[in-house]
Structure 1
């Protein structure tokens, strides 16, 4: 499915807050604080030594179809995808799932940058398993594994936002179970990729809950905590995206055109998290795509840099006012 490329973060975030959704910043920050307590320690360094800034921006990258013959701006070739992962690894990015990002469970080495790799529409080009159960060549999961083998610190993890009847070449049950067993996150993209903005509240809730049930039927025991909005369209009221009969999400993802703020920042809105479309620097709408944004972040545009300690939030003291109050006790300004 194709999505309009619109920088929706601020607009949808404001709509969510106006709706009175229970995933407002204070509650969500408290939940992220509690979740982070379960994260194990890693080697930390003095924040100034690595230029730590855990209030910086995080790219949440969005992928759809991998194909040798792209038919539109949301298609990428396997070579494009492989090259983008290589770039991320070279530049010190470490993948984390949407689940861990939105709850502040960012456990990566000192000096590294988190990146969230997300895949929409559950296409065979993302996950297709051979008869022996291994990923087929040039699928997203195969390329992720190859990259991690070449770059051991580059974790082969990602979030797959799936619809009903996901990954038909393999079968939903087999594919979703494989993803769970290999550390990937399985998340909701509604059952039939409905435009939630065009539906009434009851129908939007039904579409989301049906997607949730499809996942739970295919892979019993899956904890689904993230939703990506088809077409980036927010339902009304916006709180329906995060809470409804049979579902409760910590993060709702848009089709935006910019990085996300840190989950530790006051400005973080878990019910409206922007994403960046994967794109080359000469592609259509390249200004809003991943290549250009990675260039900007590499040039020093407020990029998240870890101090290596998941129990603290390190940042330059000049950014103190940007910290969400829920994380005050974990603050490590310098």
Structure 2
């Protein structure tokens, strides 16, 4: 385990960023620009960075959800109460949601002392998102719950990444649900058209499974370009590069299934094509691999959690740690 951040003079190095912390005014791959984050502080000084305990090479929880149901049938299900409690915990512990696309593009423009978290939903289940006849997120769905929690905690951004197959959210193929998500700054990601196991599929079937779903998303949301893929079953194709690039598609990153926290996108350990996720789970079988366990670990003194310095133009980290990946910085200021 790497050394945890220690407060005090001389334990923070701040590097001028080239690609890490791109300001939030940079738009994601959709025609609608993403909202400006609320109440961001002015450029921080070295002293305030130390006070915030900044570590922008720390680890980031990428949480994986599937269904939000009253009666869970597997470790992949959460009740509405469980899901609400987890979001409330994240808000109370100063996490700020970002999308997978934000993570890969290093759009981590967060208030000082806060931590990014990525909320991901697989399979396009109606319990994750559905619209009422009036065009509003249905009560009890994950998106509705997220919006309600964000309303109570203004710094907790109501954004998430939803990975879909054909006919997402149990509706028709008119694209209304996907358009609503894009218009409200949620990320729409590819999960293959028919949830194909890319490891066992022939190469032609791999590229077709990804390209067909890519085309369906673009058809439903004109002008939208999906940039990330959630690998069904967490399985790479035998030729791993086909997860990101093939005939008819090109992606910036791919998500695994169950693991631990993800490295910072400025860490030399970060692999865009193999981003680990944490299954949302607090009790039951294999709970030691679930979100409650990992959030406890990250909150501990040795958890090495990503903590923002509040300045999108710098990368702050403990002086004792290895420098960021070359793409994140070109010059340094040591404090």
Q: Give the structure with the larger helix fraction.
A: 1
Where in structure 1 are there 5+ consecutive unaligned residues? 1-31
Structure 1 residues 332 and 190: alpha-carbon distance in aligned structure 2, compared to 1, 3 A threshold: farther
Out of 136, 142, 147, the position equivalent to 1:134 is: 136
Find runs of 4+ consecutive structure 1 residues off by over 3 angstroms.
Answer: 32-42, 169-172, 330-334
What secondary structure is seen at the aligned counterpart in 1 of 2:175? helix
Indicate whether 1:229 and 2:238 are aligned. no
Deviations 1:233-264 (A, max 9, x none): 11011000011111111110001310000000
Please, which moves more after superposition, 249-258 or 114-123?
Answer: 249-258
Indicate whether 1:285 and 2:286 are aligned. yes
1:55, CA displacement in angstroms? 0.1
Alignment RMSD: 1.7
Hey, what's the Cα distance between the residues in 2 that align with 1:200 and 1:322?
40
1:95-134 to structure 2, matched below 5 A, reads 95-134=97-136
What secondary structure is seen at the aligned counterpart in 1 of 2:199? helix
**Counterpart residue number, 2:68:** 66
1:70, CA displacement in angstroms? 0.6
1:170, CA displacement in angstroms? 6.3
1:45-84 to structure 2, matched below 5 A, reads 45=44, 46-84=48-86
1:70-219 to structure 2, matched below 5 A, reads 70-169=72-171, 171=173, 173-219=175-221
Structure 1 residues 56 and 331: alpha-carbon distance in aligned structure 2, compared to 1, 3 A threshold: farther
**Counterpart residue number, 2:6:** none
Structure 1 residues 92 and 175: alpha-carbon distance in aligned structure 2, compared to 1, 3 A threshold: same
Out of 238, 241, 245, the position equivalent to 1:239 is: 241
1:172, CA displacement in angstroms? 5.4
Where in structure 2 are there 5+ consecutive unaligned residues? 1-16, 26-36
What secondary structure is seen at the aligned counterpart in 1 of 2:86? helix
What secondary structure is seen at the aligned counterpart in 1 of 2:273? coil
Hey, what's the Cα distance between the residues in 2 that align with 1:47 and 1:330?
18
Hey, what's the Cα distance between the residues in 2 that align with 1:202 and 1:226?
20
Contact conserved, 2:22 with 2:108, CA < 8 A, in 1?
no
Structure 1 residues 170 and 142: alpha-carbon distance in aligned structure 2, compared to 1, 3 A threshold: farther
Contact conserved, 2:130 with 2:137, CA < 8 A, in 1?
yes
Deviations 1:84-125 (A, max 9, x none): 000000000000000001111101111000000000000100
Higher RCO, Cα 8 Å, sep 6+:
2
